[in-house]
Amino acid sequence: MSVITVELPLELQVRLDRIAREFGVSVSDLIVDAAHKMSQADALAEIKEKARDRDTRAGFERVLAAVPERSPGQLGDAIE
């Protein structure tokens, strides 16, 4: 693990101290957890953006075209 020095406004430091005490963790652990969650949210947003770029009608049509044309195999499978 690496060490980083961060300057915090006094008001924020006081709030972080209170929250850390309530959860029974150190301020350092609290900040590490928050940073980890933010990085996960950023990664998820990136994944969603890439998926949105792939989510097109043309892509759906390609998948649909790959499905073979066949009659229903059993009675009741047909949509009428």
Q: Structure tokens of 47?
A: 């994944």
Residue 52 to residue 45: CA distance in whole angstroms: 10
pLDDT in tens, 18-73: 999 999 999 999 999 998 888 888 888 888 888 777 777 877 888 888 888 776 66
Residues 6+ apart with CB under 8 A from 29: 20
Given this model, what pLDDT does residue 74 score? 67
Residue 75 to residue 80: CA distance in whole angstroms: 12
Given this model, what pLDDT does residue 57 score? 81
Assess whether pLDDT exceeds 80 at residue 78.
no
**CA angle at residue 37 from 30 to 42, to 5 degrees?**
145
